[in-house]
Chain A
Amino acid sequence: MQETGWLDGVPGAANAPGVTGGAGVVRAPRASLGVQLRRSLAVALPPLVALVVLVIAWEFWVRERQIAEYLVPRPSAVFEALRDDPGRFATAARESLAAALGGLLVASLGAFALAVVMAHSRLLERALYPPALMIKVTPIVAVYPLFAIWFGFGIGPKIAIAALIAFFPMLVNALIGLRAVDPAALDFMRALDASRWRVLWSLRLPSALPYVFAALRISVPLSLIGAVVAEFLSGSSGMGQLILIANGDFDTPVLFGAIVVLSTLGVILTALVAYIERRVLFWHASMTGS
C-alpha cells in the first residue's frame, strides 16, 4: 500500500472523475475516433434527414402545382443556379465574409479593451455605458451614409457596420465576465500582493473567457448580418450586391442560392466558434457534461 497520510480514509479521493485508485493516476481515455464519429453522427443525422425530406417535398410540391419559378423555384433549380456559376457565389461570399470577420475582430478587440477599462473603474463604467447603449439602439441603416462618407465605398464601411452591430454583446458579456471572478481566488492573489496587471492577466481574463465565447456566439451571426446589410446599402460587392442584382433580374433561384450560401456560412462560423470554445474552455462547468 503506497497510499499513506492525507489520502487515508478520505472518501471521494479515489472516486474523483478520471482518476483510478491504486498507485497511479490514469486519466479517463479520450473517446476513440469511431465513438466520436458515431456521436457526432447521432447529433447531425436527424436534422439532416429532416432537411432532405423537406427539400424533396418542396420539389414535388412545386412540380405538382406548376408554380412559376420567379415565385418559388424548385430546389433543383436552386442547385443548378449554384452549380452553373459557383465562382460568382464564392467571390461574393468571400467579400462578405472578409467584411464580417473584419468587423467582428474590430468589435471584439475594441469592446474587450473598453470592458477592461470599465471593469476597473465604476466611474468610467457609469460614464461610458449609456453612450454604448445609445450606439446599440441606433438603427445601423441610419448610420451607413455617414460611414460611406468617412470610409469610402470599399470594404471600410462594411467592416464598420459589422463591427457596430457586433460591439455591444461583446462589451456587456466581457464586462460581466471580468467581474465574475471567484472571490476566494481574488483574496488569495491579493494576499500574495499580486499587482492589478497580474490579477487581470492570471485571473480576470481567463474568468471572462466563458462570457466572451457566449458573446461570440451572438456576435458572429450579427456581424454577417451587418456586412450583408452594408452591401445592400452600398450595392458595391459581396452577397448583398449579388442579392440586389438577382432581385432586379427576378432571378429567384439565385436569390435562394444566396440564402443557402449565407446560412451555410453562418452554420460553419458558429460551429467553428463552438469547436474553439470546447478546446479552450475544457475546464469550465459548461464543457464537462453534467
Chain B
Amino acid sequence: MTPSPTVDRSSPAGATPEGAAAAIAIRGVEHTYAAESGTVSALSAVDLTIEAGQFVSIVGPSGCGKTTLLRAVAGLLEPSGGRIEVFGASPRLARRDRALGLVTQDPGLLPWRSVQANVQLAIDLAGSSAASPAAGAAHGWLERVGIDRYAGLYPGELSGGMKQRVALARALAVGPRLLLMDEPFGALDELSREAMRLELLALWERERMSVLFVTHSIREALLLSDRVVVMSGSPGRILEDVAVALPRPRSDALLSAPAFLEAEQHIRALLRAGA
C-alpha cells in the first residue's frame, strides 16, 4: 500500500503468496504532466482493483485521466506516484509475459502488411518464447471476429469498423489475460459501433478474460461491464465504482430495461455533479 514508484519484482508474474492475484491492482496512483503553466495533475490518489475475469469500464469526461490510467496499466507510461500491479507483478513484467492486449481508438495497423500479416506480426512478436502457434492461428482469429474473408486485403482497403476488428483480432491473437481497450469504437459511426459492442459482448462472454475498457459512452459501459468506474477531471479521480447488477448473457434488449435506464441515470447524475 505504500505509495512508491518502484515495483517489487521478486514475485513471479501471475502468482502471489495469497493465491490468485487480481488482474489489476492500482494503489494511490497519481500522475502530473509538466506543462507551460507549471504542472498539470492528471491523476490524483486513484485506487482500483479489477479481479481476474472481470469486465470493468471507466467512463468520464475528456481529460479526466482515464487514458493516462490505462496507459499506466499497460506500462506505456510511468505514473509519478503510487503502485500498479498487473497479475501481481509490475506492468513491465506483465508486458514481458505477453499478458496484455491493447486496442486503441486509432487501430494502429501497419498499412504495408495485409490483414492476416498484421495479426501474424502480433503472434510473431509474442510467440518467440512460447511454443509457436500453428500457422493457421492468425486466420482462426480473423474468423472469430468475422473478417477472415478479408485476410488478403490491406488496411487501406478496409472501412473503419473492419480495421478495428483487425486490431481486436491482433490483440486477442497473443492470448492476453488482460485486454486493455481505450475508446476502441470511438471513431466509428453509430451503426458500426453498435455492431462492435454486441460482438465484443458475445466474444467476452465466451472468453472471459479480464478487460479494462475506457469509453465516453455510459450505455456502452453498462451494456458490457461488471463494474463501471466513474471518473471526474482536474485532477482525475474516481467518483464512484458502480456495480452493474444486470444478468448475463446480455443483449441489446437490455438497453431499454428499467434497471439499465436507472443505472444510466445514476451515472449521468454523477458525471454532471462531478463536472
Contact = CB atoms under 8 A, between A and B. Distances in A.
Interface of A: 4-13, 15-19, 24-25, 27, 182-194, 198, 202-203, 206, 282-285, 288
A13 B180 contact: no
A191 B178 CA distance: 11
A19 B150 contact: yes
Nearest to A209: B112
A285 to B, nearest CB: 7
Interface of A is mostly: loop
B152 interface: yes
B59 interface: no
Contacts of A18: 153, 157
Of A9, A16, A198, most buried by chain B (CB within 10 Å of CB) is A16
Contacts of A17: 157
A75 to B, nearest CB: 46
B195 A283 contact: no
A10 B112 contact: no
A283 B154 contact: yes
A182 B74 CA distance: 18
A7 B146 contact: yes
B109 interface: yes
15 contacts: A4-B146, A6-B145, A6-B199, A11-B192, A12-B159, A12-B161, A18-B157, A24-B149, A185-B110, A187-B74, A188-B102, A190-B75, A191-B76, A191-B102, A288-B156
Contacts of B165: 6
B12 interface: no
B191 interface: yes
B95 A192 contact: yes
Given A5-B146, A194-B125, A10 B159 contact: yes
Contacts of B111: 283-284
A285 B156 contact: yes
A185 B167 CA distance: 10
A197 to B, nearest CB: 12
B166 to A, nearest CB: 11
A16 B76 contact: no
A101 B205 CA distance: 60
Contacts of A184: 104-108
Interface in B198-226: 199
Contacts of A203: 110
B126 A19 contact: no
Contact of B110 (A10, A192, A202): A202
A193 B96 contact: yes
Q: Which of A8, A191, A198, A282 has the most CB of B within 10 A?
A: A191
Contacts of A13: 159, 161-162
Contact of A9 (B100, B108, B153, B195): B195
Given A7-B146, A12-B159, A15-B159, A189 B125 contact: yes
B101 interface: yes
B52 interface: no
Name the 9 nearest CB pairs between A and B, nearest first. A184-B108, A6-B146, A12-B159, A184-B106, A191-B102, A185-B108, A283-B111, A283-B112, A5-B146
Contacts of B112: 206, 283-284
Contacts of A284: 111-112
B105, B147, B155, most chain A CB atoms within 10 A: B147
Contact of B191 (A9, A187, A192): A9
Contacts of B196: 6
Contacts of A190: 75-76, 95
Nearest to B190: A11
B177 interface: no
A202 B113 CA distance: 10
Nearest to A4: B146
Nearest to A11: B191
Interface in B160-182: 160-162, 165, 167, 170-171, 174, 180
Given A25-B149, A187-B76, A193-B95, A283 B156 contact: yes
Nearest to A194: B125
A237 B125 CA distance: 52
